[in-house]
Amino acid sequence: MAKFTDINAEQIENAANMMKAIAHPVRLSILGHLSEGAELTVTRIHELVQIEQSTASHHLGILKDKGILISRREGKNTIYTIRNKNLKNLVECISACACVD
């Protein structure tokens, strides 16, 4: 594993952009559900997060654009998953920090 001091300016910029994308309540909620269930359809995500399907698609697009999620098509469904297992760890860490009294 690389040390933070080994990361170049472009990688730091990419990391900051990923963090900005994650730092939205809806997107963080989506990531929380994905970190627990591995793969979810847009329909299932909008049901779990209790938002309109178009809103879910919008936020999923942002997360995918920033390299946080990947997707694949299965028939009429698009299935999303977290791209990197380390991002699941980050979501779990955020959840643990938020739940501290």
- Residue 89 pLDDT grade (very low, low, confident, very high; cuts 50, 70, 90): confident
pLDDT per residue as tens digits for the range 27-64? 999 999 999 877 999 999 999 999 999 999 999 999 99
Q: What proportion of the chain, given as a percentage, has pLDDT over 70?
A: 96
Beta strands in the chain (DSSP E): 39-41, 69-74, 77-82
Q: What is the pTM (predicted TM-score) of this model?
A: 0.86
- Gyration radius of the chain over CA positions: 14
CA distance 92 to 69: 16
Beta strands in 3-100 (DSSP E): 39-41, 69-74, 77-82
The domains located in the chain, with CATH, are 8-98 (1.10.10.10)
